[in-house]
Amino acid sequence: MKVHNVVLDDYEVNTDRDLSFGWTQICTECESKFPHHGIDRNSGHGICGVSGCENDATHYLDFDKSEVTE
């Protein structure tokens, strides 16, 4: 899945209609790839969801279906 042309290899799609379409966790280094997103800082954990990045995640990123390309 791509969000604003950034490939994600680890993400979740929400099933609750009141939530954003999906989310992933991202690291500080990949945060700059999403300059126009609301990022929940200092709450993520696990490995960064950006493809090819293996850094520890520190943030969560929510995204809407309109931002997703295959």
Model confidence, pTM? 0.83
The residue ranges of DSSP E strands in 1-70, in sequence order, are 2-3, 6-7, 12-13, 22-26, 39-40, 59-63, 68-69
Q: Using an 8 Å Cβ cutoff, are 1 and 70 in contact?
A: yes
pLDDT tens per residue across span 19-51: 788 999 999 999 999 887 778 887 878 999 999
* Domain count within the chain: 1
**pLDDT of 66:** 85
Nearest to 46 by CA among 15, 25, 67, 18: 25
For residue 10, which amino acid is it? D
- Domain extent, residue 12, equals 2-69
